[in-house]
């Protein structure tokens, strides 16, 4: 360990799954980077729904990953393992990680790091990797979205939803979204959504049909699942694609397979955390080439909701679970 680095660090952990109150600060050894890894002194860590599900005991980290929550970070590289590139030391990066973000230091695969562009605050940089990687892969790679098509995304003011609106508009999509209040619908429209539907007051299936002249949408990005799935399929145009990225509304759905055949629909989905390091590296390269220039020039910047100190991770999770947030919640790490 370098002379300037401490032996221990503060991280947020928990002894047993439960509500936000189970979080507690703990002292952990500062990890050492292995081959291909860098050690990042964390400035900010993004808070995401998978972190909440992990804390609840339903989303264990994949083998070899840190048990500390946190899937995206921004900070300064302070050490590099063999083959990781010592030239990264001292540079500010943001990174997609498989865990460990809620800590003062975090390991990352050097291939999963992106440089923080000039003028992008570190808090915003930490709010980018998880949502950007997820939306890019699922909308454009699994959903095959193309310029001129129409995308329906649920949860339009979530971190994923706000990114999907901005990225979709940047690449020539018409974007329809749902949200749970008139204020959230206003926020979605301000980001560029062509139609924002208050799902508490309106039937999104009928609103989509009216807006598209009965044609339907080409892609649905679904984070609800459950009984939303048959409604989503009703919204899809012929040859439409339904992409599931979360199951907040339930694990099971009843599907009219005759409708799937008649419309020639494609149903797919994915989770990102458990994918191979090689896959994530490939994804990072695609994002660096196609989407990162839009971050650098200000076309895409994450919508920021609230920042909490690392020690208040419980409050950050409570805010996310309360559902009132618009955009990203991040943790400011002490000393970051």
Question: pLDDT-based confidence at 336, cuts 50/70/90?
Answer: very low
Token pair 């098509």 is found at 149
What are the respective helix, strand and coil percentages of the chain, to the nearest 5? 35, 25, 40
**In whole angstroms, what is the distance from residue 330 CA to residue 305 CA?**
8
Extended beta strands in the chain, E state: 8-13, 24-29, 37-47, 72-80, 92-96, 105-109, 113-115, 150-153, 174-179, 195-198, 217-222, 236-244, 266-269, 304-309, 328-332
Looking only at the bridges linking them, the beta strands covering 217-222 and 105-109 are: unpaired
Please report the pLDDT score of residue 2 as a whole number.
47
In the chain, where does the domain assigned CATH 3.90.180.10 lie?
Answer: 8-128+273-332
Whether the CB-CB separation of 184 and 167 falls below 8 Å is answered with no
Question: pLDDT-based confidence at 4, cuts 50/70/90?
Answer: confident
**In whole angstroms, what is the distance from residue 225 CA to residue 268 CA?**
12
Please report the pLDDT score of residue 85 as a whole number.
87
**Domain 131-269 fold:** Rossmann fold (3.40.50)
In the chain, where does the domain assigned CATH 3.40.50.720 lie?
Answer: 131-269
> Which whole-number Å values give the CA distances from 164 to 48, 95, 138, 173, in the listed order?
15, 19, 10, 10
Q: What does the pLDDT look like over 39-50, one tens digit per residue?
A: 999 999 999 999
pTM given for the model: 0.94
Q: What does the pLDDT look like over 7-27, one tens digit per residue?
A: 999 999 999 999 999 999 999
Q: Give per-residue burial for 25-49: e unless 16+ CB within 10 Å, then b.
A: eeebebbebeebbbbbbbbbbbbbb
Tell me which CATH code domain 8-128+273-332 carries: 3.90.180.10
């Amino acid at each position: 360990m370098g002379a300037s680095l401490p032996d221990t660090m503060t991280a947020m952990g928990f002894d047993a799954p439960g509500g936000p109150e189970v979080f507690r600060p703990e002292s952990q050894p500062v990890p050492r980077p292995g081959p291909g890894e860098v050690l990042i002194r964390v400035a900010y860590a993004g808070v995401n729904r998978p972190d909440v599900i992990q804390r609840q005991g339903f989303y264990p980290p994949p083998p070899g990953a840190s048990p500390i929550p946190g899937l995206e970070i921004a900070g300064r590289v302070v050490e590099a393992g063999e083959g990781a590139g010592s030239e990264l030391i001292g540079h500010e990066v943001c990174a997609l990680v498989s865990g460990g973000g809620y800590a003062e230091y975090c390991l990352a695969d050097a291939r999963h790091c992106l440089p923080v562009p000039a003028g992008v605050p570190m808090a915003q940089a930490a709010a980018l990797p998880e949502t950007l990687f997820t939306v890019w892969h699922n909308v454009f790679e699994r959903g095959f979205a193309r310029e001129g098509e129409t995308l329906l995304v649920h949860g339009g003011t979530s971190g994923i939803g706000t990114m999907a609106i901005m990225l979709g508009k940047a690449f020539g999509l018409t974007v329809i979204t749902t949200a749970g209040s008139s204020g959230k619908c206003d926020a979605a429209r301000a980001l560029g959504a062509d139609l924002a539907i208050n799902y508490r007051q309106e039937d999104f299936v009928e609103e989509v049909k009216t807006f598209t002249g009965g044609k339907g949408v080409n892609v649905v990005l679904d984070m609800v699942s459950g009984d939303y799935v048959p409604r989503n399929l009703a919204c899809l145009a012929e040859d439409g694609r339904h992409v599931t990225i979360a199951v907040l509304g339930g694990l099971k759905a009843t599907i009219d397979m005759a409708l799937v055949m008649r419309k020639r629909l494609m149903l797919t989905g994915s989770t990102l955390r458990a994918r191979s390091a090689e896959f994530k590296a490939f994804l990072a390269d695609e994002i660096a080439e196609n989407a990162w220039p839009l971050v650098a020039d200000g076309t895409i910047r994450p919508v920021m909701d609230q920042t909490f100190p690392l020690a208040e991770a419980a409050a950050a999770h409570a805010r996310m679970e309360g559902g009132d947030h618009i955009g990203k919640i991040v943790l400011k790490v002490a000393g970051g």
